[in-house]
Amino acid sequence: MAVRTAEQYRIQLRQLLPYGPAWDLERLPELDLVLAGLSVELACVDARVVALYAEMDPASVTELVPDWELVMDLPDSCLGDSPSFGDRQLSVRQRLTAIGAQTPAYFVSIAKGQGYPDATITQHRAPRFGRARFGKAHFGTWRVQFMWTLNTGGRQRLGRRFGVSYWGERFGVNPGSAIECLIRRYAPAHTVVHINYN
């Protein structure tokens, strides 16, 4: 959607003037000043309409982030007391487009969204007749079938670094509080989650 300039509106307003001596711009130069003032205001309104159109899409929201957060019960308590503005924008997008699941792939996608690109899931299996092999190490008893481990695959790729961040932004990243909160929130209730930060 293109934004019209004040000059484009001024030309358009001149063309829309009715015919007659009362609307002649050569006889009434004050009328041209009125049209110039109106064209500036119309250009401002046009720019705000385009900005509002961008604010309706959570992928490009900037000004209405607090309103979107109010509707979606954000900011998320898992992100801490004062998340950065970029994290707040990302939370709005994710909350609106999230589908959810209880599969390992869903929890890997949560970890990737939190900055762990090499995350994997290890599902522990209880030794059972017909599945267990002689000489192979097994972990636990019958209750182990409800345990799983999220392997983060190393350090986060996110974070503020010297020379890349701006003044007032927190330096460094709290390594795991957000991912632990999110994983434990969405984990099935009957399971026990362990997080391995490698």
What is the span of the domain harbouring residue 41? 6-55
Cα–Cα distance for residue pair 144/191, rounded to 1 Å: 9
Cα–Cα distance for residue pair 94/160, rounded to 1 Å: 21
Q: Is residue 1 part of a domain?
A: no
pLDDT, one tens digit per residue, over 124-170 is 877 666 666 665 555 556 667 788 999 998 766 555 555 555 555 55
Do 108 and 143 belong to one domain?
Answer: yes
Q: How far is CA 110 from CA 7, 58, 132, 152, 186, in A?
A: 49, 19, 32, 11, 10
Q: What percent of the chain has pLDDT over 90?
A: 27
Q: Is residue 24 part of a domain?
A: yes
Q: Is residue 88 part of a domain?
A: yes
Average pLDDT over residues 109-127: 85
User: What is the pTM assigned to this prediction?
Assistant: 0.58
Question: What pLDDT is recorded for position 174?
Answer: 46
Do 121 and 166 belong to one domain?
Answer: yes
Question: What pLDDT is recorded for position 31?
Answer: 92
- Is the CB of residue 98 less than 8 Å from the CB of residue 73? no
- Is the CB of residue 154 less than 8 Å from the CB of residue 116? yes
In this structure, the strands spanning 120-123 and 147-151 are: antiparallel
How many domains does the chain contain in total? 3
Do 116 and 152 belong to one domain?
Answer: yes
Q: Is residue 14 part of a domain?
A: yes
pLDDT surpassing 50 at residue 110: yes
Question: What pLDDT is recorded for position 107?
Answer: 93
Sign, Cα dihedral of 110, 111, 117, 123: negative
